[in-house]
């Protein structure tokens, strides 16, 4: 079921989104060779607490599996998404790291959820890595440009897919964007490629979605590692991920996770 958000809740989500955008920026600014992804997680946890919010991925349950162990997902190189932060993962010059973070803010007695991700370079990176990150970020922006009342979810999917494939990269199929706002994940699903298997909703004001293209330098296939969370590319190629939380307004859209 689609839960459209009230104007008051959109205002709260905007507040939450600005906090999240600032925290993600701070975490991204700390990325450098020699830092661990757990160090980045500590920054995220501290800043979220200072803002009076709570991290929404920490302890997140999916089915009967183990709860997610950290606030930040920090996905290095061939890791697509959902890598828990770790003291064992020391960033090295030339890597790229996807920083995915969600938080919830209590506004008027209601917890409101926002979600955001960006992939950043660790020092100097390859031309392929730079191009992959640029294409994925542009795909997100082109997807966002399709958001508005009367438009369809497939308008987003097509715009994202076209941009990534035009750059010569592939779109991850197994993971999709999603509704967000009253929970970490809500309906509808927002695929990053055209697929008749998904219900093709017409967007209406009050819909809030997380659009999150994931692009691989090689094949789109991915697999889950034995921890049950970490998703890696099947061919070992690098992968990039960008995400914003976006509200459908009366006249178009508003990116909520922007400062």
Residues that bind Mg ion (CB under 5 A): 115, 210, 212
* Euclidean distance between CA atoms 62 and 52, whole angstroms: 25
Shorter beta-carbon distance to Mg ion: residue 135 or 175: 175
β-strands 110-121, 96-107 pairing: antiparallel
**DSSP alpha helix (H) spans, 78-184:** 127-145, 153-166
**Contact predicate 171/220, CB 8 Å:** yes
Minimum CB distance to Mg ion, residue 214 (Å): 10
Shorter beta-carbon distance to Mg ion: residue 203 or 210: 210
* Euclidean distance between CA atoms 7 and 49, whole angstroms: 26
Minimum CB distance to Mg ion, residue 89 (Å): 21
C-alpha pair distances (Å), 71 with each of 38, 40, 59, 242, 248: 10, 10, 8, 17, 27
Minimum CB distance to Mg ion, residue 243 (Å): 6
Minimum CB distance to Mg ion, residue 244 (Å): 10
Helix (H, G, I), strand (E, B) or coil at 142: helix
Shorter beta-carbon distance to Mg ion: residue 125 or 171: 171
C-alpha pair distances (Å), 191 with each of 55, 149, 199, 212, 217: 25, 18, 10, 9, 19
User: Cis link prior to 243 (omega < 30° from 0)?
Assistant: no
Shorter beta-carbon distance to Mg ion: residue 125 or 175: 175
Shorter beta-carbon distance to Mg ion: residue 78 or 115: 115
Shorter beta-carbon distance to Mg ion: residue 9 or 212: 212
């Amino acid at each position: 079921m689609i839960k459209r958000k009230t104007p008051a809740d959109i205002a709260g989500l905007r507040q939450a989104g600005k906090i999240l955008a600032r925290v993600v920026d701070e975490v991204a600014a700390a990325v450098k060779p020699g830092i661990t992804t757990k160090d980045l997680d500590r920054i995220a946890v501290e800043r979220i607490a200072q803002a009076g919010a709570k991290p929404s991925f920490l302890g997140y349950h999916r089915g009967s599996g183990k709860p997610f162990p950290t606030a930040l997902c920090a996905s290095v190189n061939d890791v697509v998404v959902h890598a828990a932060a770790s003291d064992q993962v020391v960033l090295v010059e030339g890597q790229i790291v996807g920083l995915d973070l969600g938080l919830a803010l209590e506004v008027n007695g209601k917890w409101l959820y926002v979600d955001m991700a960006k992939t950043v370079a660790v020092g100097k990176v390859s031309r392929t890595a730079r191009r992959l990150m640029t294409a994925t970020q542009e795909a997100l922006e082109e997807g966002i440009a399709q958001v508005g009342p009367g438009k369809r979810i497939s308008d987003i999917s097509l715009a994202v897919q076209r941009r990534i494939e035009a750059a010569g990269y592939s779109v991850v199929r197994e993971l999709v964007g999603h509704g967000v706002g009253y929970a970490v994940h809500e309906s509808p699903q927002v695929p990053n490629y055209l697929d008749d298997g998904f219900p093709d909703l017409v967007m209406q004001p009050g819909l809030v979605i997380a659009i999150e293209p994931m692009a691989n330098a090689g094949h789109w296939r991915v697999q889950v590692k034995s921890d049950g969370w970490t998703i890696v590319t099947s061919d070992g190629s690098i992968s990039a991920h960008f995400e914003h939380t976006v509200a459908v307004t009366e006249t178009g859209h508003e990116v909520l996770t922007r400062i």
